[in-house]
Amino acid sequence: MNALNIAYKDLMMLLKDRGQLITLFLVPIGFILAFSAAFAAGQELEAQVIAVPVVNLDPGGEMSTLLLQQLNDDRGLQTEDYDQAQAAADLSDETIKLVLTIPSGFSADVQAGKQTTLRLAYGPAASDSEVQAVRLVVDGIASDLSLETQLVGGLSQMGAMMGDAPAEVRVFTAERIATQAESQFERAKTTPLVALSAKWPDQITQGREDFNPSSFGVAGFAIMFAFLSAQTTAASIFEERKEGTFRRLLAAPLGKWELLAGKMLPNFFLAILQMVIIVAASLVLLPLVGQQAPTLGNSPLGLALVTILVALCSTSLGILLGALCRTESQVGGISSVFLWIAGMVGGAFIPAFVLGDFLNAIGKVVPHYWAMQAYNDLMLRGGGVGDILLELGVLAGFAAVFFAIGLRRLRFA
């Protein structure tokens, strides 16, 4: 009962604090709109089509036709037919940057289960990222083809890809290989093709097909701001200590637990409300500004569980910050910076798979990462509660640890 009295009092104080309300509710929505606009602009850039000259020595073949069709289906690539001599000439005088060669008998070989080689030759004019992009797409499609047809093959080792390039070009590209992705290439020489091509395309296709930037952005910001609101709890504990009202509360016939619960309740509900409002506003507002609405997946229960655990985690973090912070600037600025960084490395802004292995590994120490994984599983990949048990467990663990340390460190008087 007294917990409710305290919670009610805190809410009343919060409602009088306009700045706090704006931070809690309007700022996140503004961020989402800005972010999705920026992301859409980024996507347009990315949508620039890379022209891929193709020398098809297996014209009319079933598999080569399928391959070309799939290459063109990919939004980023556009194949153009070239004749072999012309392609070699254009490549050496740099009028084209790269050439993909489909060997004669490609369809027959693939269908017969024989190893066959697609050759990607490129000249000095090709940028690393173009080569990489084409290589990844071809890899992916080729491996899909081979998987589909239950055949080994498709692409050969990367070294072999160089076969058709003019000698002077070859030297140049060899350097490039060395600096660019040596280890990948080394592995390509020794590892069976399917294994190699299955590695890269998986991520690319997952990234491309499932990536709804709105869902990602909305989940990320919901998490980011839910955790930032831990500062509300921390600040109110700090304030009570500073103003001495804690002394009054402690002199009152009131349990420590009631006091703590009273401090936690408002933030817990606010964090939930905040996340609900962020998602609801995104569903309504993003389509209005011409952006994709987020997809919510198909597990309301899963979403509810993650949201509740994120709110709980943020609230306990608030207790912890409130217990540890000794100055106003620790409560405000310093924990802000800390929480933003946690959001960054936790993948709340940038997809974890883009951050790279190192940051990804670091990200796992912050609850944001696990919350993000859980939301992604639910919203992007359509998973259910069963798919996020680990994440739920880890979030609950974070909440328990934050709370336990906070309780220990909180000096009441």
Partner 1 sequence: MSEPILISQDLKKSFGEIEAVKGISLQVARGEVFGLLGPNGAGKTTTISMLTGLLEPSGGQITVDGLDLKSHTNEVKAKMGLVPQEMALYMSLSARQNLMFFGRIYGLKGKELRQRVDEVLEMTGLTDRADDPVGDYSGGMKRRVNIGAGLLHKPQLLFLDEPTVGVDPQSRNAIFESVEALNRAGMSVIYTTHYMEEAQRLCQRVAIVDEGRIIAQDTPTALIRSLGGGVVLLGVSASAPEDLAERIAQVPAVKSATRSDTYPAGSTGGQLKIETQRLQEALMQTLDITNQLDVRITSLEILEPNLESVFLHLTGKKLRQ
Chain residues in the site for partner 1 (CB under 8 A): 2, 5-6, 9, 12-13, 16-17, 243-245, 247-255, 412-413
Give me the least distance between CB of 251 and partner 1, in Å please. 4
Distance in Å, CB of 26 to partner 1, minimum: 20
Nearest-approach distance from CB 338 to partner 1, in angstroms: 26
Q: Rounded to 10 degrees, what is the CA torsion of 258, 262, 264, 268?
A: 130
Residue number, 19 or 290, with CB nearest to partner 1:
19
Task: Please give the torsion angle defined by the CA atoms of residues 275, 278, 282 and 283, in that order, rounded to the nearest 10 degrees.
Answer: 50
Nearer to partner 1, 26 or 250 (CB): 250
Q: Tell me how far, at minimum, the Cβ of 230 lies from partner 1, in Å.
A: 21
Residue 119 has phi, psi (to 5 degrees) of: -110, 130
**CB within 8 Å of 333: residues ≥ 6 apart:** none
Smaller CB separation from partner 1, 1 or 45: 1
Q: b/e string for 242-269 if b means 16 or more Cβ within 10 A?
A: eeeebeebeeeebeeebbbbbbbbbbbe
Cβ of residue 326: shortest distance to partner 1, in angstroms? Answer: 16
How many other CB atoms are there within 10 angstroms of residue 352's CB atom?
Answer: 18
Beta carbon nearer to partner 1, 21 or 354: 21
Instruction: Give min distance, CB of 255 to partner 1, in A.
Output: 8
Nearer to partner 1, 74 or 240 (CB): 240
Can you list the alpha helix ranges (DSSP code H) found in 289-388?
A: 300-324, 328-329, 335-345, 352-363, 367-375
Q: How far is the CB of 278 from partner 1 (least distance, A)?
A: 26
Min separation Cβ 327 and partner 1, Å: 18
Query: What is the signed CA dihedral for 230, 231, 233, 235, rounded to 10 degrees?
Result: 170
* Contact residues for 14 (Cβ-Cβ < 8 A; gap 6+): 20, 21, 232, 266, 270
Distance CA 204, CA 183 (A): 19
Nearer to partner 1, 114 or 242 (CB): 242
Q: How far is it, in rounded angstroms, from Cα 283 to Cα 97?
A: 43
CB closer to partner 1 out of 141 and 331: 331
**Of 2 and 205, which has the nearer Cβ to partner 1?**
2
* Of 164, 60, 139, 148, residue with least CA distance to 106: 60
Spatial contact of 99 and 87, defined as CB atoms under 8 Å apart: yes
| Closer residue to partner 1 (CB): 113 or 255 | 255
Name 117's bridge partners: 154
Report in angstroms how near the CB of residue 296 gets to partner 1 at its nearest: 37
H or E stretch covering 84: helix 84-92
Query: How far out from the chain centre does Cα 203 lie?
Result: 11
Using CA atoms, how far apart are residues 193 and 24, in angstroms rounded to an integer? 51
